[in-house]
Amino acid sequence: MKRIFFDLDDTLYKNKKLREDREKAIISFLGEKAEEYKELKKNNNTIKSLEILGISKETFYQIISSVPIELEKDERLIEILGRLFENFELLIISNSPEKIVEEIIKKLGIEKFFSKLITGDKMKKTKPHPTAFEEIKFGDTVVGNNFDKDLKIPKQIGAITILVSESPNSEADFNIHHIYEIDYIKLDKL
Protein backbone atom coordinates (compact mmCIF):
# COMPACT_ATOMS: atom_id res chain seq x y z
CA MET A 1 0.00 0.00 0.00
CA LYS A 2 1.28 3.46 -0.90
CA ARG A 3 2.10 5.76 2.00
CA ILE A 4 1.52 9.45 2.68
CA PHE A 5 3.59 11.19 5.37
CA PHE A 6 2.09 14.41 6.74
CA ASP A 7 3.81 17.16 8.68
CA LEU A 8 1.44 18.35 11.42
CA ASP A 9 1.75 22.01 12.44
CA ASP A 10 0.70 24.44 9.67
CA THR A 11 0.11 21.49 7.34
CA LEU A 12 -2.82 19.42 8.66
CA TYR A 13 -4.08 22.39 10.64
CA LYS A 14 -3.29 26.09 10.96
CA ASN A 15 -3.73 27.93 14.21
CA LYS A 16 -2.02 31.30 14.40
CA LYS A 17 -2.91 31.81 18.07
CA LEU A 18 -1.31 28.50 19.12
CA ARG A 19 1.85 29.32 17.15
CA GLU A 20 2.04 32.81 18.70
CA ASP A 21 1.35 31.51 22.22
CA ARG A 22 4.12 28.92 21.89
CA GLU A 23 6.53 31.60 20.65
CA LYS A 24 5.59 33.87 23.59
CA ALA A 25 6.25 31.01 26.02
CA ILE A 26 9.69 30.43 24.48
CA ILE A 27 10.56 34.16 24.58
CA SER A 28 9.40 34.39 28.20
CA PHE A 29 11.50 31.36 29.16
CA LEU A 30 14.61 32.75 27.43
CA GLY A 31 14.57 36.14 29.15
CA GLU A 32 17.84 37.90 28.29
CA LYS A 33 18.57 35.43 25.48
CA ALA A 34 15.31 36.27 23.66
CA GLU A 35 16.89 38.74 21.20
CA GLU A 36 19.68 36.30 20.33
CA TYR A 37 17.03 33.62 19.76
CA LYS A 38 15.08 35.92 17.40
CA GLU A 39 18.26 36.50 15.37
CA LEU A 40 19.02 32.77 15.23
CA LYS A 41 15.45 32.05 14.06
CA LYS A 42 16.13 34.02 10.87
CA ASN A 43 18.35 31.17 9.65
CA ASN A 44 17.36 28.16 11.80
CA ASN A 45 14.27 26.34 12.95
CA THR A 46 13.10 26.70 16.56
CA ILE A 47 14.77 23.54 17.90
CA LYS A 48 18.11 24.36 16.25
CA SER A 49 17.98 27.98 17.46
CA LEU A 50 17.37 26.85 21.03
CA GLU A 51 20.07 24.18 20.75
CA ILE A 52 22.60 26.87 19.77
CA LEU A 53 21.59 28.74 22.94
CA GLY A 54 22.17 25.62 25.04
CA ILE A 55 18.48 24.77 25.49
CA SER A 56 17.73 21.08 25.01
CA LYS A 57 14.98 19.64 22.84
CA GLU A 58 13.43 18.20 26.01
CA THR A 59 13.26 21.67 27.61
CA PHE A 60 11.66 23.01 24.43
CA TYR A 61 9.02 20.28 24.67
CA GLN A 62 8.33 21.22 28.29
CA ILE A 63 7.87 24.86 27.28
CA ILE A 64 5.42 24.15 24.46
CA SER A 65 3.60 21.53 26.53
CA SER A 66 2.66 24.31 28.95
CA VAL A 67 0.69 26.08 26.20
CA PRO A 68 -2.98 25.02 26.01
CA ILE A 69 -4.04 23.52 22.68
CA GLU A 70 -7.37 25.01 21.72
CA LEU A 71 -8.50 23.20 18.57
CA GLU A 72 -11.84 21.85 17.46
CA LYS A 73 -12.88 18.83 15.45
CA ASP A 74 -12.35 19.49 11.72
CA GLU A 75 -15.13 17.71 9.83
CA ARG A 76 -13.78 18.63 6.40
CA LEU A 77 -10.31 17.30 7.26
CA ILE A 78 -11.91 14.12 8.66
CA GLU A 79 -13.73 13.63 5.32
CA ILE A 80 -10.58 14.18 3.26
CA LEU A 81 -8.38 11.90 5.37
CA GLY A 82 -11.15 9.30 5.43
CA ARG A 83 -11.06 9.12 1.62
CA LEU A 84 -7.25 8.94 1.56
CA PHE A 85 -7.31 6.29 4.30
CA GLU A 86 -9.20 3.96 1.96
CA ASN A 87 -6.26 3.78 -0.47
CA PHE A 88 -3.17 4.84 1.47
CA GLU A 89 -1.33 4.22 4.71
CA LEU A 90 -1.23 7.59 6.49
CA LEU A 91 1.61 8.61 8.81
CA ILE A 92 2.63 11.79 10.64
CA ILE A 93 6.19 13.05 10.76
CA SER A 94 6.49 15.99 13.17
CA ASN A 95 9.20 17.67 15.20
CA SER A 96 6.70 17.98 18.06
CA PRO A 97 6.74 15.36 20.82
CA GLU A 98 4.38 12.40 20.66
CA LYS A 99 2.18 13.62 23.55
CA ILE A 100 1.44 16.92 21.77
CA VAL A 101 0.91 15.24 18.38
CA GLU A 102 -1.56 12.80 19.96
CA GLU A 103 -3.45 15.62 21.67
CA ILE A 104 -3.70 17.68 18.47
CA ILE A 105 -4.90 14.85 16.23
CA LYS A 106 -7.40 13.76 18.86
CA LYS A 107 -8.85 17.29 19.11
CA LEU A 108 -9.04 17.49 15.30
CA GLY A 109 -10.81 14.10 15.28
CA ILE A 110 -8.28 12.48 12.93
CA GLU A 111 -6.33 10.12 15.22
CA LYS A 112 -7.88 6.92 13.78
CA PHE A 113 -6.41 7.53 10.32
CA PHE A 114 -2.72 7.35 11.21
CA SER A 115 -0.87 4.05 11.45
CA LYS A 116 2.27 5.64 12.90
CA LEU A 117 3.45 8.87 14.48
CA ILE A 118 7.09 9.74 13.87
CA THR A 119 7.75 12.43 16.45
CA GLY A 120 10.60 14.68 17.50
CA ASP A 121 11.08 12.97 20.85
CA LYS A 122 11.62 9.63 19.08
CA MET A 123 13.89 10.90 16.27
CA LYS A 124 17.67 10.84 16.55
CA LYS A 125 17.64 14.36 15.05
CA THR A 126 14.65 16.44 14.02
CA LYS A 127 13.71 17.73 10.57
CA PRO A 128 15.41 18.89 8.40
CA HIS A 129 18.21 16.49 9.40
CA PRO A 130 18.34 13.54 6.95
CA THR A 131 17.97 10.94 9.74
CA ALA A 132 14.49 12.32 10.50
CA PHE A 133 13.36 10.94 7.16
CA GLU A 134 14.73 7.39 7.52
CA GLU A 135 11.30 5.78 7.07
CA ILE A 136 10.52 7.56 3.80
CA LYS A 137 11.14 5.51 0.67
CA PHE A 138 11.14 6.16 -3.07
CA GLY A 139 7.55 6.60 -4.27
CA ASP A 140 6.08 7.64 -0.91
CA THR A 141 4.23 10.97 -0.78
CA VAL A 142 5.28 13.64 1.73
CA VAL A 143 3.12 16.66 2.60
CA GLY A 144 4.55 19.67 4.44
CA ASN A 145 4.36 23.44 4.76
CA ASN A 146 8.09 24.22 4.50
CA PHE A 147 10.00 22.91 1.47
CA ASP A 148 13.47 23.09 3.03
CA LYS A 149 12.44 21.55 6.37
CA ASP A 150 9.77 19.04 5.32
CA LEU A 151 10.26 18.18 1.64
CA LYS A 152 13.81 18.75 0.39
CA ILE A 153 15.27 15.47 1.73
CA PRO A 154 12.18 13.39 0.78
CA LYS A 155 12.40 14.84 -2.76
CA GLN A 156 16.05 13.69 -2.94
CA ILE A 157 14.94 10.22 -1.81
CA GLY A 158 12.43 10.11 -4.67
CA ALA A 159 9.23 10.86 -2.75
CA ILE A 160 6.38 12.82 -4.29
CA THR A 161 6.26 16.18 -2.53
CA ILE A 162 3.24 18.37 -1.80
CA LEU A 163 3.84 21.85 -0.40
CA VAL A 164 0.98 23.38 1.62
CA SER A 165 1.83 27.08 1.55
CA GLU A 166 0.71 30.48 0.32
CA SER A 167 4.17 30.73 -1.30
CA PRO A 168 4.65 28.08 -4.01
CA ASN A 169 8.02 26.43 -4.55
CA SER A 170 8.93 25.17 -8.03
CA GLU A 171 10.93 22.29 -6.52
CA ALA A 172 7.79 20.72 -4.99
CA ASP A 173 5.88 18.30 -7.20
CA PHE A 174 2.60 19.95 -6.18
CA ASN A 175 1.75 23.25 -4.49
CA ILE A 176 -1.52 23.82 -2.65
CA HIS A 177 -2.60 26.69 -0.39
CA HIS A 178 -4.51 24.61 2.16
CA ILE A 179 -4.66 20.92 3.08
CA TYR A 180 -8.27 20.86 1.86
CA GLU A 181 -6.95 21.24 -1.70
CA ILE A 182 -5.17 17.86 -1.54
CA ASP A 183 -8.37 16.41 -3.02
CA TYR A 184 -7.48 18.07 -6.34
CA ILE A 185 -4.34 15.96 -6.66
CA LYS A 186 -5.11 12.50 -8.02
CA LEU A 187 -2.75 10.74 -5.61
CA ASP A 188 -4.05 7.29 -6.51
CA LYS A 189 -2.87 7.88 -10.11
CA LEU A 190 0.72 8.75 -9.13
Q: What is the pLDDT of residue 186?
A: 84
Is residue 129 within 8 A of residue 45, CB to CB? The reply is no
Task: Report pLDDT for 35.
Answer: 96
- Which stretches of the chain drop beneath a pLDDT of 70? none
Whole-number pLDDT of residue 24: 97
Query: What pLDDT score was predicted for residue 96?
Result: 96
**Could you tell me which residues are beta bridge partners of residue 141?**
4, 160
The pLDDT of residue 122 is: 95
Phi, psi (rounded to 5 degrees) for 15:
-145, 95
Residue-range domains of the chain with CATH: 3-13+72-189 (3.40.50.1000), 16-65 (no CATH)
